[in-house]
Every structure is written in structure tokens, then in C-alpha cells.
């Protein structure tokens, strides 16, 4: 076995790459905030559109499936799932565009290419953090509920969520460079994923007769376990608009998503880093 294929060689490469990312941490932050300001510079509401988008979507689904058709009428339930999903969807689509939208930057500067999907992820994370605050305000105003010690679950949920999203963003960036059609397909993929996640439909749907075949696969959706952890951390359990206590926390859900986050995160990052040396020839 040659020296370049030994575990020590790969360990050194990983350590060197992480050091390079850390050395450019200010560049990552300024790139993320620069993209964020540029994206919202022409709008009057700016940052608030990041929060308004999932809020308005939640209201639309609440109106359609809560008022017009019999279904979930709990707007807090809808918003909690929509905010979490929106963070992942924004990270995924941002990763798909990260390389293509910064092609000039790639030709003029030498830096770890993973910085680009990371910058998009940080941009989405800032908006997600604000949206969690909005969710707490809605929960307090509409339900009179203030989360207690359960909010500490965010210390595990958010880092795992970030790792998961970075893995997805890295995979999307890896695929979008040689296969440009990925960007056209992405909105359809995220919309299907949204409908398969426990956001519009309540968990009780899995126990109904109409969901017998669907229920077998629902828990294999990473959003199933992730959203359940966020709901246990932030929102109350309510029936007909009446709070009956905090949402129960199932440790198995956190463990299940931790597996998803580690696998998707490291596989996605690994695939991107192995490919980044070939990016220039595809641009």
C-alpha cells in the first residue's frame, strides 16, 4: 500500500482542510451576510421575508386544509413544521446554486470550495434563528405557552440540523455543477418532500385506515423525527385550540435523526470535497 492511501494521509488531509476552513471563518461570514443583504436589498421588508415566506405558506395551508377542508386547524403546529422544513429547503436549493452563482469568485480566488455551500447555509441559519423567535411569540400570544426546560433540546437539535443541511447542500452543489438540470428539478423535489412530512397533516393521520400503506414509510422521512424534536422543544400539545401540556419528547426521535444527520452530513461533505478539484473544468 502506498503512503498516499494510508489512514494517516487522509487524517492529515482532513485536519488541513478543517484548518483552512477555520482560517477563513471571517470570509465565510462576510460572504454569507453579503449574499443575504444583496438578496434582500431591493425589497422593503428585507430580512422579514425569510420569516414571512413560511408564515404565509402556513396560513395558506391552514386556510385550505383547516377551514375549507376538514383537517389540521392548529396554526402553531403548521408553523413549527414549516419553519423547520423551510430551513432545510433553503439550504438544499442554496447549495445547488452555490457554485454556479459564484463561478467568477472561483476563478479569481483560491479557497476550499466547501465555503460556498457553507455560506449559503449560514445565511439560511440566520433566518431560521429569527423564525424560531417568531414561533415562540405566536405560541405565547395564541396559546399562552412558554416552553420550559424542553427548550434545551435545541442544543442538540440545531447542531444536528445544521450538519444534516450541510450534507444536503454539499450533495446538491456536487451534483448541480455537472448536471445543471438539478436546479430545475429541485422545486418539485422539495414540494413532494413537504407533502410527505408531518407538517400539513397531523400525526393522527398515520393511525387512520386511509394511511395504512403510507404509515409504514413515514418514519423513514428524516423530517418526521426532526420536526417531532423541535415541537417537543418549542410548542405545546393542544386539542381544539386548548393547551393540555408540553408536547411529549421521544428520545428515539432524537437518536433517529442523529443517525440521519451524521450519515447525510459526512457523506455529502465527503462527496463534495473529493469532487471540488474537478469543479473548474465543468464551469
pLDDT score for 142: 79
Q: pTM of the predicted model, to two decimals?
A: 0.83
Exposed/middle/buried for residue 155 (C-beta within 10 Å: 0-12, 13-18, 19+): exposed
- pLDDT value at residue 265: 93
Residue 75 domain-assigned (yes or no): yes
| 19 found inside a domain | no
Beta bridge partners of 245: 237
Return the higher-pLDDT residue of 97 and 171: 171
Which residue has better confidence, 15 or 206? 15
Least confident of 15-19, 138-142, 183-187: 15-19
The structural domain count of the chain equals 1
Note whether 246 and 147 are within 8 A (CB).
yes
- Residue 40 within a domain: yes
CA 247 to chain centroid, in Å, comes to 21
Does residue 1 fall inside a structural domain? no
Establish if 18 belongs to a structural domain.
Answer: no
Domain extent at residue 250: 24-282
Is 5 inside any structural domain?
Answer: no
Is 10 inside any structural domain? no
CA angle 145, 87, 20 (to 5 degrees): 125
* CA-CA-CA-CA torsion sign (210, 60, 217, 154): negative
pLDDT for 22: 79
Q: Is residue 84 part of a domain?
A: yes
47-58 average pLDDT score: 70
Please report which confidence band the pLDDT of residue 120 belongs to, taking 50, 70 and 90 as the band edges: confident
What tens digit of pLDDT does each residue of 251-261 get?
Answer: 999 999 999 99
User: What is the pLDDT confidence band of residue 2, given thresholds at 50, 70 and 90?
Assistant: very low
Amino acid at each position: 500500500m502506498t503512503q498516499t492511501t494510508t489512514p494517516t494521509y487522509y487524517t492529515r488531509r482532513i485536519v488541513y482542510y478543517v484548518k483552512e476552513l477555520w482560517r477563513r471563518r471571517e470570509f465565510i461570514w462576510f460572504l454569507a451576510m453579503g449574499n443575504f443583504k444583496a438578496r434582500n436589498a431591493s425589497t422593503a421588508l428585507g430580512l422579514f421575508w425569510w420569516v414571512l415566506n413560511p408564515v404565509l405558506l402556513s396560513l395558506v395551508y391552514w386556510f385550505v386544509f383547516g377551514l375549507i377542508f376538514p383537517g389540521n386547524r392548529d396554526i402553531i403546529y403548521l408553523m413549527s413544521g414549516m419553519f423547520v422544513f423551510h430551513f432545510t429547503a433553503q439550504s438544499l436549493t442554496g447549495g445547488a446554486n452555490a457554485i454556479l452563482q459564484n463561478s467568477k469568485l472561483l476563478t479569481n480566488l483560491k479557497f476550499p470550495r466547501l465555503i460556498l455551500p457553507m455560506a449559503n447555509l449560514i445565511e439560511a441559519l440566520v433566518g431560521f434563528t429569527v423564525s424560531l423567535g417568531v414561533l415562540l411569540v405566536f405560541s405565547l400570544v395564541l396559546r399562552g405557552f412558554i416552553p420550559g426546560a424542553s427548550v434545551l433540546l435545541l442544543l442538540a437539535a440545531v447542531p444536528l440540523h445544521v450538519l444534516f443541511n450541510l450534507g444536503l447542500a454539499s450533495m446538491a452543489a456536487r451534483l448541480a455543477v455537472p448536471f445543471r438540470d438539478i436546479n430545475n428539478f429541485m422545486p418539485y423535489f422539495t414540494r413532494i418532500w413537504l407533502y410527505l412530512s408531518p407538517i400539513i397533516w397531523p400525526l393522527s393521520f398515520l393511525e387512520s385506515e386511509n394511511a395504512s400503506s403510507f404509515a409504514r414509510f413515514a418514519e423513514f422521512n428524516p423530517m418526521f423525527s426532526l420536526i417531532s424534536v423541535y415541537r417537543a422543544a418549542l410548542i405545546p400539545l393542544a386539542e381544539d385550540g386548548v393547551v393540555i401540556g408540553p408536547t411529549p419528547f421521544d428520545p428515539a426521535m432524537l437518536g433517529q435523526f442523529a443517525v440521519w444527520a451524521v450519515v447525510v452530513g459526512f457523506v455529502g461533505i465527503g462527496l463534495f470535497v473529493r469532487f471540488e478539484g474537478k469543479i473548474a473544468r465543468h464551469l
